[in-house]
Amino acid sequence: MISSLFLYSIMSKIIPFKAVRPVRDKVHLVATRPYYSYKKNVLKAKLEDNPFTFLHIINPEFGAAKKTKPNSPERFEHVKDRYQDFLKEGILKQDDQNHLYIYKQTKEGHEFTGIVCGASIDEYNKDLIKKHEATLTSREQMFTTYLDIVGFNAEPVLLSYPHNNEIDSLLTEYTSGRPEYEFTTTDRIKHELWVLSEEQTKKIQGSFEKIEALYIADGHHRSASSAGLKKMRETNNNGRFPNEDYFLAYLIDEEKMKILEFNRLIKGLNGLSENEFLNRIEEYFTVDLLPGQSKPKHQHQFSMCLRGKWYSLDCKNSIIDEDHAVRSLDPEILTQYVLSPILSIHDLKTDERIEFASGVESLDSIEEKISKNKFDIAFVLYPVTMNQVKKVANQNLIMPPKSTWVEPKLRSGLTIYNINE
């Protein structure tokens, strides 16, 4: 007998929407990386030099003598006002009809191609959109308040789906023509966007109805806050809003996206000498001195730079629990057998002795930080696989903090989702 839940789950419901988009001649000036990804001096320069960047909406008080409190309702009201200014000035326009959109990002020869759409909050709540990360309640509430006031979402949640030949063929066919947008940013990444017709949209929707589940790859707080907004408005009887049942999402084939590692940089040896530290490490790992910098070659192997010297650390079989979705992950193994018991780093989110470097940062850069005495140790990890992420999500477990760096990193302001109309 097939359960009703199983019957319900053999589908992923996505919807077209009327995107608010930059006009064609200004798209390369409007679309931006998220503001938090910029260093302060770079952010200041962009705001000074580019009057069209979406960063002006997110930072509406740039240059103002008096400023409201960050993340306050008053600040969010200013964001809303600046957004309305961009609409009035014709920098942004809303499409007349509902569409799905195909966005392709080409970085260092690798093509990331996926679909921009509305993803179902109902499916999110029923765990048909699967999570692997816990959200902080305070941050989730802040984002919910933000969405309620500004009324739009400009940064898609990255969702992955299992490889599907039918969807792959449609994407290839629909991207064979000239895109609506085509531009390259100063980080040498090429961006292309296609606006799909009604017929093309229906074919894509039909194909996704055969996908059992979607997985959040990046954007747990954004999806949680969208679900929180719908719940809050229902609780407060605030009325119905046309697009509140969905959230802005970017769907990509799990085989096409990239998962890179998050490396750990540590200040101090917790009072141990180098030899004492190495002796403690050898309780759990086979330690070999390396001739120079090197990345790990496989899972359950780490590369360690200890005050300029490089070592490989291979996990002993006694510490590998392959039957457990979380305890088998290298980030968790490192915490349980090195960071916590030897270095007394128990909370990776709050301890000031640890910082993280994504897999896009070079080993030269990591080694330089150690040579300048900013850190004493660096642990370089082997990337977590998508199968490992799915195993954690399917068991309703939580990944360790900073386990994955996922690409593509999407642009803000390219396709804006209007929640209220």
Do 121 and 241 lie in one domain? The reply is: yes
pLDDT confidence band for 136 (50 / 70 / 90): confident
Asked whether residue 206 falls in the same domain as residue 61, the answer is yes
pLDDT of 36 over the 90 cut? no
Rounded distance between C-alpha atoms, residue 220 and residue 214, angstroms: 13
Mean pLDDT of the chain: 94
pLDDT band at 59 (very low <50, low <70, confident <90, very high): very high
Residue 419 has what pLDDT? 93
Given a cut of 90, whether residue 123 has pLDDT beyond it is yes
Instruction: Show the domain range for 249.
Output: 4-258+408-418
pLDDT at 138: 87
Phi-psi category of residue 82: left, alpha or beta, with phi > 0 → left and psi -120 to 50 → alpha: alpha
The mean pLDDT of 105-126, rounded to a whole number, is 96
Is 229's pLDDT higher than 80?
Answer: yes
Q: How far apart are CA 5 and CA 225, in angstroms?
A: 25
On the question of pLDDT at 119 being above 90, the answer is yes
Q: Are residues 238 and 122 in the same domain?
A: yes
- The tens digit of pLDDT for each residue in 337-388 reads 999 999 999 999 899 999 999 999 999 999 999 999 999 999 999 999 999 9
> In whole angstroms, how far apart are CA 102 and each of 267, 284, 322, 406?
44, 48, 38, 19
Print the SS3 string covering 206-246. Answer: HHHCCCCCEEEEECHHHHHHHHHHHHHHHHCCCCCCCCCCE
Are 413 and 397 members of one domain?
no
Dist. CA 261–CA 282, nearest whole Å: 23
* Same domain? 149 vs 55: yes
Work out the average pLDDT over 141-166. Answer: 95
Report the alpha-carbon distance of residue 154 to residue 55 in Å, rounded.
11
* Digit-coded pLDDT (tens) for 176-225: 999 999 999 999 999 999 999 999 999 999 999 999 999 999 999 999 99
Are residues 321 and 267 part of one domain?
A: yes
Residue 6 binned pLDDT confidence (cut-offs 50, 70, 90): very low
pLDDT, mean of residues 124-143: 91
Do 298 and 205 fall into the same domain? no
Q: Both 228 and 275 in a single domain?
A: no
Confidence category of residue 3, pLDDT binned at 50, 70, 90:
very low
Token output for 86: 């961009």
| Number of structural domains found in the chain | 2
User: Do 285 and 229 fall within a single domain?
Assistant: no
- Which of 258, 103, 253, 120 has its CA nearest to residue 182? 103
pLDDT digits (tens, 9 = 90+) for 271-309: 999 999 999 999 999 999 999 999 999 999 999 999 999
Per-residue pLDDT, 11: 67
* Peptide bond preceding 408 in cis form (omega within 30 of 0): yes
Same domain, 241 and 287: no
Indicate whether 360 and 216 sit together in one domain: no
Domain CATH for 325: 3.30.1760.10
Q: Are residues 171 and 67 in the same domain?
A: yes
